[in-house]
Structure 1
Amino acid sequence: MGLALGLVMPGAPYSAGVAAATEKASPAPERTVVVSVSKGFAPYYFVDGAGEIKGFAIDIGAEIQTITGLRFEYQIFDKVRAVLPALRDGSTEVNLSIGITPKRSAYLDFTRPYETIRISHFIRKSAVGIEKATDLDSRKVGVVRINRGRSLLESRGHAKLVIFEGLEEALFALLSGAVDSVAYPENILLKSARAAGIDHLIKPIGPPLLEVKRAIAVAKGHPQLLAKLDAAVGQFIGSPAHKRIIAKWFGEPQSFWSKKKVTIAGAILAALFLFGFLIYRNRAVSRFNRELRGTIQAKDAAENELRNLHANLEALVDNRTRSLQSEIAERERAEVALRESEDSYRTLLAQMHDAVLVAYDGRMSFANEAAMQLTGYSMDELSGMEFHQLLTPHGVEIWRKRRQDRLAGLSVESQHEIEFLHKDGKTVKSCLINIKRYNGPDGSEAVLGTFMDITDLKHAETSLRNAQKMEVLGNLTGGAAHSLNNLLVPIVGLGEILKEQIEDNEDQGEMIDAMMQAAESARQLVARMLTFSRQDDPQQEVIDPYKIMRKSLDLMKPSIPSTITIWEDLDQTAGAIFADPVQTETVLINLITNAAAAMKGDVGTIKVGLTRAESRQHGLAPLGDENFIKMTVSDDGPGMDEEVRERIFDPFFTTKEVGEGTGLGLSMSHGIVQRHGGHIDVESAPGLGTTFEIYLPICDAPDAANATPG
């Protein structure tokens, strides 16, 4: 809901502006009615530069107050979207101008309509090939975000909507050719176009998309108020005041050329034309006589020359004809060869496995099938795009740096890695194989680039490095853990024997207890190291992730400082998973513990979420086509920079102080998630907190509904 500016009380600027129009009402106000308006919905209601509330609906409200004896107090909202919720929850009672729809009638009552507006398509007057609304099915249509035109076209499934924040932005996008049409209420659009001086450049087409009747809306539960306002609207419709207000806000602009001015201008033009004609006639007659004498002399000379040329004309024509025929034949052969060469070249580029992009003056002009698959855009979409629009922000930085180096005369390698941003938001790493620059037919710079998608290769290299590193670290950790465990056995055993033998010595008993606690801490560390080094499959069963997360939260809440708030958003119907309950719980406890530790006892919030996720929506296509559950743990702590984020899953890497952590928790969690066929992501930046997302495949087994909590 938008931020309310507050009720306008008696004597305040907004109520004073309306009171001036209601001075003729003799009786005292019958009651005060709270009316909701938006300060940014011109021309219906808006706040002008002097802080006054103005508009078409405000003028109508002044007349309705005069008729009914009611007094309106305006509650002004920053955003239009906040008006309807205020009526629904009862914080306001009336809105002076709202379109009547079945959906709104469920929670609002309406007076009889006092205005009907038409929502239509507007196009440029110079547009070609657009005669009716169906001609726009495959074209870009502009709509305003908060407007009936947008919801209408979205409900009809129009695929190429371009959404703008305001009408002015949409109009100038239409004139610039960024869109082919703007769908909007006719009266408001034409009013704005006239104010901007561009109404002669646009026109509506076809029948209206929809006619919307506008009326005064009353919140449910006010039948007497509705009846009074409805009667007042009936009295107001068709009155001189009604016509005056419509003409004021939506009337045609008065033309400069009145009938009298046209008559005077016509008489002046006629007199000037007659005077000019007389002068021109006298000069023309004199010039004609001179030219006639010259023409006669030239005619005699031309006849003599013609007689001289006639003898050689036939030979000249024959020679020129043969020369032209030879030139035409040679040009036709060259054109055929050029077309064949171009067809062969295009066929070769189209069938290449590597992606090929050609740009003139920085804008795409050709892309083969491999390039369209790489970027996700069609040729129509790519046409006119600039190359940097296809790259990730990191890719743009690399590309511009290399371009600056090239312009500075520095040596630039022809082959390097660059990141493309796929149309669906997926990052594709590609290798720039070759770049060639040349001048186009019109002298513009042309660039031809060939690219090879190496995403799968990069993933395979990363997976191989991680597997090798984890295997070596697992073997080392497992060996060290077993050795430590062997050393701990006699320590624990002898400690228990000593404790039994010195029951009466309290000081020595306390020292032995301290020794046993240290041994227990060492044993827990050994257990973690063994879990990290274990390479066998987890003990999996069908479990309910909601119950696992519920259990983990119940275990952790007592140990989390009271200054930290835990916010939960858990979908109990997200689905069951096939997983080891103990290991899954271990992962969640590690993440919640790290989130609490990141805030170091300060005030903060830990958010824990559970939902269902599709692989294609989250870039998990390499894991398969099945659906996943997504478990989220986030905090609003200090966050991590890129260097720390890249190493966060490395074994024994920790940002905690010495003695506060082993650095095995996240690496162990990463290994557990991978062994379950899942994926773990981390998003973090300095000052923006940290979010961990765990994706595990959903189990569609028949007994999934009865999954155990583990």
Structure 2
Amino acid sequence: MIPGSDPTTLDEARARIRELEARLEESEETLAAIRRGDFDAVVVQAPGGGQQVYTLENADRPYRVLIEQIQEGAFTLGADGALLYGNPRVAAMLASVPEQLIGRFLHEFIDAKERPALVRLLEEANRTGAARGEVCLRSAAGSHLPVHVSLSRLQRGDGAALLCGVLTDLTEQRQHLHELAEANAQLKAQGMERERIEEALRQAQKMEAIGQLTGGIAHDFNNLLTIIRSSVDFLRRPSLPEERRLRYMDAVSDTVDRAAKLTGQLLAFARRQALKPETFQVGACLHEVADMLDTITGARIRVVVEVATVECFVRCDRSQFETALVNIAVNARDAMDGEGCLTLRLTGGLPMPGIRGHVGSRKAFAAVSLTDTGTGMPEEYLARIFEPFFTTKAVGKGTGLGLSQVFGFAKQSGGDVDVESTLGHGTTFTLYLPEVEAAAGAAITSPAPVEATHGGGRRILVVEDNIEVGRFATQILEDLGYDPVWAANAEDALERLGADGGGFDAVFSDVVMPGMGGIVLAEKLRDRLPSLPVLLASGYSHVLARDGDHGFELLHKPYSADQLSRVLRRIIGENSASGPTQKVPPS
């Protein structure tokens, strides 16, 4: 008992609570009885003395209002599948009135082709208690309406089962799906049209680039051919003085070298140059190049070399590397108008940054930079500086291929080249090449040339499909004192050599030939006759550019008689000194 409380008041409160609980229990029992159909109505004495009448209608009114107002179609099916109830939304879906639906079967409002699906839904709902699916309604007016059907089994007290269902209109959803499909189709069509336009643009750009490239090559080669043709015309004159004859012969030789350099720059830009990689110390090479640049740049340009004390090695074609540095230096000389300072700087162990939108690398790179104190370049030039035949120099002052050779060499060697420039403050070109470990006997100086001597009657098998080049090559070898035999293709060469080499001392073969190429021929001979030296010659081969020289000696076209003699004497001499070699199975 609570202190200070009146016992009488507490008893009255408890009595009141029991009375309310009893009335609540009575109300619940009454409502249950009404719903079971035990009574049609119940009259209850109200607290104020009046009376309240409870019927099934007013007891379930809130639920009926909800069912009548929802925007989903609600219905009830009897055990035989007849409609026992349908709310106004179902009637609207079927273009009918609720009173006309009662007693009719649901399958009457379903397309004939969809009735098996409805039967399956009804069977599943009766068996499992619930089912869901999609069907298409057909109204009395003949219209069609896609709907989603949800069925639930309701077990009554008398043991009979009813099916309660809900219909959801899918028209708007299907319309959205249709619109999405149309939008997707339009996007695909637009994407295909965009790809077509982009491809056409790329083709147009390619054709423009090819036109510029072809025009530049034709211009330069025609200039070179003019010199050669004029010189040859003068050499044919019987009364030409000896001094002028020598001058014209030197002009022809120099012009051929310039033509070979031009094609080499083109191949380097296209990354199709057959490189001869070697491992060398970059710092020592820079000092040698700097000595050569003193002569190229002139006395008024000071060449400074800054090399770290730690040795740095790279593996690439040393000749192409030196050519790239010379090409950059020549551009720097012209930018400084022959007066200023050119700084060659080497930094090892650096990551390569992203350049012109290309991803960089965290591996160690040797960064060789050349910085001049020239006039610099505007921003719009930097984006085109490595394009072939792009030049800011006056006509006749440059071909526009020097920096394209630098770009092609860097890319083919696994690196890249970057440029920074400020108007009035000079330009810096930075060449990035992958750094490698020092190789045993890494080259830091060029090997001494082998002295050319007489062929001594050694037999050389010349393999060349071009008639003019084949005749000229055999004539050169005869003049050098060799005994050449000419085969027009690789298959004929293999037949002449036989199983024992046919008495030949070496094979001199072109790389690009119809049928079996020179590399395949050389590999077959390496397996069959490992002691027979093979010398390859090529002006260009995509196989050599991609995979290297495959371990064979390579002579680049155009070659001179002196070059051919030196290489043949060296490989034949090395073979004679080493004796027969053991055949190594191919890996």
Output the TM-score relative to the length of structure 1: 0.30
